[in-house]
Structure 1
Amino acid sequence: MQALRFLLPFLKPYKRLAIGALICLVGLVIFDLSIPRLVQRIIDQGIRVHDQEVVLYTGLLMLCISLLSLAMAVANNYLSVKVGEGVARDLREAVFLQIQDLSFGNLDRMQTGGLMVRLASDTAAVQRIVNISLRIGTRAPLLMLGSLLLMVDTSPSLALRLLPLILLTLAIVTVFMLRMEPLFLMVQQQFDRLNTVLQENISGVRLIKAFVRADHERARFSEVNTVFTGYSIRILRTISTMSPLLTLCVNAGIVLVIWHGGLAAIQGELTVGQIVAFTNYLLTTLTPLAMMAMLSNAWANGLASIRRIKELLETVPEVTDMATGAATPLSALGEGPLGVSFCGVSFRYNQVDPAGNGEKGEWILCDIDLAVKPGSTVAILGATGAGKSTLINLIPRFYDVIGGSILVNGVDIRELRQQDLRALIAVVPQETILFSGTVADNIRYGKPGATLTEVETAARAAQAHDFIVRLPERYETRIEERGGNLSGGQRQRVAIARAILYQPRLLILDDSTSALDVDTEARLQQALTQLPFAHTSLLVAQRVSTVLAADSIVILDKGRVVSQGSHEELLAHCSIYQEIYASQLGDPELSASMFSEAVQP
C-alpha cells in the first residue's frame, strides 16, 4: 500500500483521463456480463420454443452490444496508454532531477548501472503496471465480482457447490503473487549489477584491451549473468507451476457445472439456457483469476520498481540549502575576485554510514587553516592521497565540511544557496568530461549564448586554438563519446577553455594540466595571468613546474597543511617541497631557469 500511495501524486495530473478509462471499463464489463444472459434468452425463449423473432432480435442486440464493447475497449486502451505514458514521463523526470539534486556523497554510494535501471527499466515497469491496472487489472476483478453475483442469481445451489473451488483458485493466485514480488526484487537487484558491469566494461574497454583482461572481464560478466539468469528461471518456474494448476481449476469447474447442472436440468430445476449462462459466468469468474495470476509478474515487477524509485526519490541530499529566505544574498560577497578562508576544516568520507553499522571513513583533512587572498594565484602541492582534490571539492559544496568552516569573502558558504555559490566558480576536474556535440558546444557549455569569437578567445587562452583549427571541421568538429577522438592533453585544454569562457570569480584547476607538455603548460600558466576578467586561481598539482609562478604554494601532506610560501621560500625551508623538487627537477640551475620563465611577463 505504501508503494501505491507513493504513486498517487504522479497519477493526480491524469485524474480525468484515468476516470474516463475506468468509466469505459465499467461499461465494457456491463456489456460483457450481459452476453450470457442474452444467450440464455436465445436458448430458452427462442430455440427451445422455436421463436425466430426472439432469436433474431436478441442476436441483433448482441451484435450492437459487441460493437459498443469494441468502442469502449478502444477508448479504454487509448486513455490507459495516455495515463501510463504520462506517469512514466513524470517519473523519469523526477528521477533525473533527483539524481541532479543528490550530493556527491549520495552518488558515491550508488552504482551508475543501478541509477540507469531506475531511470529506464523501473519507470517502464511502472508504466506497464498503470496501463494494466486501468485495463485488465481492473476489468478482471469487476468481471469476477459481477459474474459471482450473476451465478448466485442464476442458481444459488450450484454457486454454493462451486464456492470451495473458487476460493481455492483465489488462494492459489494469492500465494503465487506473494512469492513473485520478492523474486522480482532480487531480479532487479541482479539486473543493476549486470548493468554496472556492462557500463564499466564499455567505458573501460581501452584499459581492458591494454592489460589483456578480456578473459577476466568475460568471467566477471558471466558470473553476474549466471546469477541473474538463475533468479529469472526461478520466476519462470513459478509461473509454469501456477498455470497448470489454474487450468485444472477451470476445467474442474466446467465438469462440476455440467454434472450438477445436468442433474438439475433432468429434474426440471434448471433450463439448458441457465446451464449455458452459468457456465459462461463460471468461466468469467475463473478466467479473470487466471489472467490476474498471469499478470502477477507484471504487478510484482511494477511494485518492486515503485519501491526502488520511491527509495531513490526519498533519499535526502547530504548537502542542503538553508530555508527559503534565510540564505545570504550574493550581494553580500561584493564584486571582483573571491577570497577563500579555511577555518579549522576537517573532513572524512562516509560520515554517515548508510548500513547503520557505525563505521565511518578515516579523516582525509585535519584542522586545515588556509587563507586565499582575492585575485591571487594559490597552488596546492602534495603527494597522491594528500587530500588536495578533497580540499577544493569542499569549496563549491560538492561535500560539506565535518568540522570547521569555509568562508568566501567572509561569508560561510553554508549560508549561500548552492546554485548561487557554484555560479561564481569554475572547476576543471582531474577527469576531463566532454559531452557529445561539437568542440564549440563543449567550450560554451557554461555560457550557451557565447559567440564564436568569444569561444575562440577562450580557446586561445587555453592553448587549444591551434589544434582545433587543424581538426576537419575546426570548431564544428563532432566530439565522440567521452572525447574519444581527442588526446588527453587536447581534452584538458578544451575543458580549461570552457572554464575560461565562463569567466568565474574563482577558477579551480584540479591537476587539469597533467597531460600537457612543459612548454604548453608554461604558455597556459602565462595566459591565465592575463585573462580579461578579475578572478582568483586555485591550482592543484603534483608537478613543481605547474606551481612555480603561483603567488603562494601550499604543501599538503596526509590531510594537513605542513608549509606555505613562495617557491624560493619553500625551497629553502620545507623538506617535503625540497624532496618533490629534487625528484622532479633535480638541477637547481634548471629549476631557476624554469622559475624565471614561469614568472616572466
Structure 2
Amino acid sequence: MVSDDLTRAGLMTISNFKRLYQVFHGYERWFLFSILLNIAVAGGTLAIPALSADLINNGIMAGDFSYSLDVGVLMLLAAVIAGACQIANAGIAVWASEYSSHSLRTREFEKIQTLSFGNIDKFRSSDLLVRLTTDVQNVKIAIQQSVMNLMQAPLLLIGTIIIMAAMAPALVWIMVVLLVLLTIILVLYFVIVEPAFTRKQSEIDGVNKALRETLTGIRVVKAFVRQEYEINKFGQAADNLKRAAMRPQMIMSYLMPTVFAIALLGFGAVYYFGGEQVLAGTGLMIGDVTSAAQYILILMMPLLIIAIVLPFITQANASLKRIFEVLDAVPEVQEPKDPVTINVDQVKGRVEFENVSFGYRNAEGVPDGEVLTGINLVAQPGETIGFLGATGCGKSSLVSLIPRFYDVTGGRVTIDGVDVRSISLETLRNMVSVCLQESVLFSGTINENIRFGKPSMTDDAMMEAARSADVDGFVQNIPEQYDGRVARRGSNFSGGQKQRLSIARALAQKPKILILDDSTSACDVATEARIQDAITDMMEGTTKFIVAQRISSVITADRIVLLSQGVIEATGTHTELLASSPLYQEIYESQLGSGLQSGGNAS
C-alpha cells in the first residue's frame, strides 16, 4: 500500500515538474550551465578530503613541509573554485525562480481571463487569488532551492561512493547502512507530508475566503454588531489552518535533527572501526581515516540537501497541482470552430429563445438540476422586454444565455436567426452589452470606467452615455468631474451612483442588444424614471431586456415576461397582465397597492 502510494506520488511529482520545466523553453542553456557549475562545485568539494589524506599521509607524517605546502595550495584552489561556482549558480537559481514565478503567474492570469462564468463559479475568486500568489510563491522557492542545491546531490553521492570504495573499502559498509536508513526515512517523509501540504493549501483558501468576506462586508458587520461572530468565524478558519499546517511542519522539524544524528553516528563509526584498522596494521593510514570521516559527512550532504529541499518540493508539488488545475481548465463556453461571419452594424437585434432549458453545473462539471425549462420567447428588433418574478426564478440566468455567459443545456438562443453558439464570442459581445446585477467599478477615473468596453470612443459619445445614465448630475459636483478618481470597487460612491456608472458603461458601447439586470435597484423611483426615458431615446432601435424585482422598473416595457420556478408564467403588457394574471396582480398589489387599476394610471 505504501509502495503504491509512493509510486503514484512520485510519478505525479515527476510529471508536474517535467511540465514545469517546459516554462523554460528557449532558456535550456542556463540549466546546462548550472549543471556544469554544480559539477565544478561537487568536484572541488570531493577533492578536498582526498587532498587532506594526501597532506597527512605524505606531507605531515613524512615531515615534508614543501609537499604539505603544495597540497595545501591545491586544497585552497579547489575551495576557491567550488565557492565561485556556487555563487554563480546561486545567480542562476534566483533568475530561474523569478522567471518561473512570473511566467506561471502571467499564464494563470491569462487563462483566468478565458474561463467562463461556470469555471469562475467553480474556482471562486478567493481560491484563485491563493493560486496566483501563495501557490506560485511555493513553486518559486522550490525552484530556487533545487537549482542551487539539489543538482549537486547525485554528483556528491556517486563521487563519494567511488572515492570511498577506492580509498577505504573496509569502511564502505558504514556508508551503505547510512544510505539505506536515510533513504527509508526520506521515503516515509514524502508519503506522509505530501497530502498534508495539499490540505494546508486548502485551509489557506478557507482563511482567505473568510478574510475577504469580512473585509469586503466590514460596514455591514459593524452595522449589525456582528464583530464577535466574524471573529469566531475567522478564528475557526485560522484554527483549521493551524492544525493543517502543524502536521507537515512538525515532521519537517523532526527530519533535520534525525538526519544530523545519523550523520554523527556514521562519523563516529568511521573513527571507531577505521581506528581499529589502523591499529591492526591493515594498510589503512591515519590520513585515510580522517579523509573517510570527511567523506561520510560529504555523503550526508546530498541527503541533507534532499532533507532541506524536499519539503519545498513537496509543498511546491501540491501547489503545482492546483496551478495546473487552472491552466488545464476547459472553458465551459467554447469558441465555435467555424464562426458565422456577421457584420455587427447590420444586426437587427431579433432574439429568440427556442425551447430553452438550462442548469448550472456542480464542482465536478455535472449538471445540477435545471433552473429554466421549456422557454419559448421572441423579442423583435427594438422591442423592450421586461422580466419579472421572485428571486431565484431564473431571470438573470435567462438573459445570461444571450451573450453566452453560460450555454443552454437544451434548445437554442438565436440572434437574427443565428444560433449564438455559432457566433464568435468577441462578435457576440460586441453586439450585446450587459449591466450586471453587481455594480463592479475599477480603480481609475470615472472617464476610464465609462470607456471600459470601448476605450476609443469620442468624448461626445462618453458624455451622451453618462447623461443617459443620469451620471452627469452627481459628477458635476466632483471637483475633477470625469477625471475624478474611482476607488477600488467604487467604494467612494453610493450604491445608486455605482449602478448609474455601470449603466453608462453599458450604454456607451451603443449595442444592438442591451441587457439591464436589476441595474436600477439602488436608485430612487424618480432617478429610475429619468434613466428609462433617456435610454429609450438614446437606444432607439436597440432590443432591450430589463430584469427587475419591482414592477416600476418594467411597467413601461413593450412586453413583460413573468417567470415562476424556471418557466414562463405569463406574457403581456402591464395592462394585459394586470387583467389576466393572478400572480402579476399579487406582485402589483404588494408593491404599488390596489388603488391603481390601469397601466396608464400606474405609470
Separation in 1 of the partners of 2:548 and 2:363? 33
The alpha-carbon deviation at position 273 of structure 1 amounts to 1.8
- What secondary structure does 1:556 align onto? strand
User: How do 1:284-299 residues align onto structure 2 when only pairs under 5 Å count?
Assistant: 284-299=298-313
Q: Select which of 25, 37, 46 maps to 2:50.
A: 37
Separation in 1 of the partners of 2:145 and 2:502? 47
Alignment pair present for 1:386 and 2:393: yes
Which residue pairs with 1:167 in the alignment?
Answer: 180
Which residue pairs with 1:327 in the alignment?
Answer: 339
The alpha-carbon deviation at position 43 of structure 1 amounts to 1.7
Q: Select which of 159, 180, 183 maps to 2:193.
A: 180
The alpha-carbon deviation at position 152 of structure 1 amounts to 0.9
Which residue pairs with 1:592 in the alignment?
Answer: 600
Alignment pair present for 1:212 and 2:225: yes
Which residue pairs with 2:509 in the alignment?
Answer: 502
User: How do 1:113-124 residues align onto structure 2 when only pairs under 5 Å count?
Assistant: 113-124=126-137
Contact 1:169–1:286 under 8 Å retained in 2: no
The alpha-carbon deviation at position 533 of structure 1 amounts to 7.1
Separation in 1 of the partners of 2:364 and 2:555? 45
Once the two structures are superposed, residues 200-230 of structure 1 have per-residue CA deviations (whole angstroms, 9 ceiling, x without a partner) of 1111212222222211121111112112111
The alpha-carbon deviation at position 591 of structure 1 amounts to 5.5
Separation in 1 of the partners of 2:364 and 2:448? 42
Separation in 1 of the partners of 2:98 and 2:518? 45
Q: Select which of 351, 358, 376 maps to 1:340.
A: 351
Contact 1:336–1:535 under 8 Å retained in 2: no
Separation in 2 of the partners of 1:490 and 1:423? 25
Output the amino acid matched with 1:63.
Answer: L
Which residue pairs with 2:237 in the alignment?
Answer: 224
Output the amino acid matched with 2:469.
Answer: A
Alignment pair present for 1:488 and 2:468: no
Output the amino acid matched with 1:202.
Answer: L
- What secondary structure does 2:151 align onto? helix
- What secondary structure does 2:376 align onto? strand
Q: Select which of 155, 158, 166 maps to 1:153.
A: 166
Once the two structures are superposed, residues 8-34 of structure 1 have per-residue CA deviations (whole angstroms, 9 ceiling, x without a partner) of 322324312222222211121111111
Which residue pairs with 2:292 in the alignment?
Answer: 278
Could you say if the C-alpha distance between residues 137 and 464 of structure 1 is closer, same or farther in structure 2, counting changes exceeding 3 Å?
Answer: same
Alignment pair present for 1:409 and 2:416: yes
The alpha-carbon deviation at position 334 of structure 1 amounts to 6.5
Q: Select which of 129, 134, 144 maps to 2:147.
A: 134
**Deviates most, 236-245 or 271-280:** 236-245
Which residue pairs with 2:62 in the alignment?
Answer: 49
User: How do 1:443-462 residues align onto structure 2 when only pairs under 5 Å count?
Assistant: 443-462=450-469
Output the amino acid matched with 1:100.
Answer: Q
Separation in 2 of the partners of 1:366 and 1:344? 8
Separation in 2 of the partners of 1:172 and 1:379? 68
Output the amino acid matched with 1:229.
Answer: K
Which residue pairs with 1:317 in the alignment?
Answer: 331
Separation in 2 of the partners of 1:537 and 1:162? 80
Could you say if the C-alpha distance between residues 284 and 161 of structure 1 is closer, same or farther in structure 2, counting changes exceeding 3 Å?
Answer: closer
Separation in 2 of the partners of 1:371 and 1:334? 21
Contact 1:585–1:591 under 8 Å retained in 2: no
Alignment pair present for 1:550 and 2:563: no
Output the amino acid matched with 2:564.
Answer: D
Once the two structures are superposed, residues 158-182 of structure 1 have per-residue CA deviations (whole angstroms, 9 ceiling, x without a partner) of 1124421231122212222222111
Separation in 2 of the partners of 1:37 and 1:517? 88
The alpha-carbon deviation at position 401 of structure 1 amounts to 0.6
Contact 2:575–2:598 under 8 Å retained in 1: no
Q: Select which of 318, 340, 351 maps to 1:304.
A: 318
- What secondary structure does 1:507 align onto? strand
The alpha-carbon deviation at position 594 of structure 1 amounts to 5.0
User: How do 1:345-424 residues align onto structure 2 when only pairs under 5 Å count?
Assistant: 345-350=356-361, 353-355=362-364, 361-424=368-431
The alpha-carbon deviation at position 120 of structure 1 amounts to 0.8
**Deviates most, 96-105 or 28-37:** 96-105
Contact 2:561–2:568 under 8 Å retained in 1: yes
Which residue pairs with 1:599 in the alignment?
Answer: none
> Number of residue pairs matched?
588
Separation in 2 of the partners of 1:381 and 1:532? 21
Output the amino acid matched with 2:54.
Answer: R
Q: Select which of 18, 28, 36 maps to 1:5.
A: 18
Separation in 2 of the partners of 1:349 and 1:7? 33
Which residue pairs with 2:211 in the alignment?
Answer: 198
The alpha-carbon deviation at position 110 of structure 1 amounts to 2.3
Contact 2:596–2:602 under 8 Å retained in 1: no
Separation in 2 of the partners of 1:449 and 1:77? 47
Separation in 2 of the partners of 1:215 and 1:14? 53
The alpha-carbon deviation at position 565 of structure 1 amounts to 2.2
Contact 2:142–2:309 under 8 Å retained in 1: no
**Deviates most, 83-92 or 443-452:** 443-452
- What secondary structure does 1:291 align onto? helix
Separation in 2 of the partners of 1:590 and 1:209? 44
Unaligned runs of 5+ in 2: 1-13
Alignment pair present for 1:560 and 2:567: yes
Output the amino acid matched with 1:428.
Answer: C
- What secondary structure does 2:577 align onto? helix
**Deviates most, 579-588 or 257-266:** 579-588
Contact 1:176–1:293 under 8 Å retained in 2: no
Normalising by structure 1, we get a TM-score of 0.93
Contact 2:117–2:406 under 8 Å retained in 1: yes
The alpha-carbon deviation at position 451 of structure 1 amounts to 4.1
Contact 1:177–1:300 under 8 Å retained in 2: yes
Q: Select which of 521, 533, 555 maps to 1:526.
A: 533
Separation in 2 of the partners of 1:158 and 1:291? 23
Which residue pairs with 2:80 in the alignment?
Answer: 67
- What secondary structure does 2:284 align onto? coil
**Deviates most, 192-201 or 68-77:** 68-77
Separation in 1 of the partners of 2:379 and 2:599? 25
Could you say if the C-alpha distance between residues 581 and 139 of structure 1 is closer, same or farther in structure 2, counting changes exceeding 3 Å?
Answer: same
- What secondary structure does 1:197 align onto? helix
* Structure 1 segments (4+ residues) deviating >6 Å: none
Percent identity over paired residues: 36
Output the amino acid matched with 2:183.
Answer: L
Unaligned runs of 5+ in 1: 596-601
- What secondary structure does 1:540 align onto? strand
Contact 2:349–2:513 under 8 Å retained in 1: yes
Separation in 2 of the partners of 1:161 and 1:21? 32
Contact 2:356–2:413 under 8 Å retained in 1: yes
- What secondary structure does 1:227 align onto? helix
Output the amino acid matched with 2:315.
Answer: N
Which residue pairs with 2:8 in the alignment?
Answer: none
Separation in 2 of the partners of 1:543 and 1:228? 44
Contact 1:510–1:541 under 8 Å retained in 2: yes
Separation in 2 of the partners of 1:336 and 1:396? 14
- What secondary structure does 1:295 align onto? helix
Separation in 1 of the partners of 2:471 and 2:519? 14
Output the amino acid matched with 1:282.
Answer: I
The alpha-carbon deviation at position 429 of structure 1 amounts to 0.8
Separation in 2 of the partners of 1:223 and 1:142? 47
Q: Select which of 572, 576, 583 maps to 2:583.
A: 576
Output the amino acid matched with 2:341.
Answer: P
Alignment pair present for 1:430 and 2:443: no
Separation in 1 of the partners of 2:65 and 2:58? 9
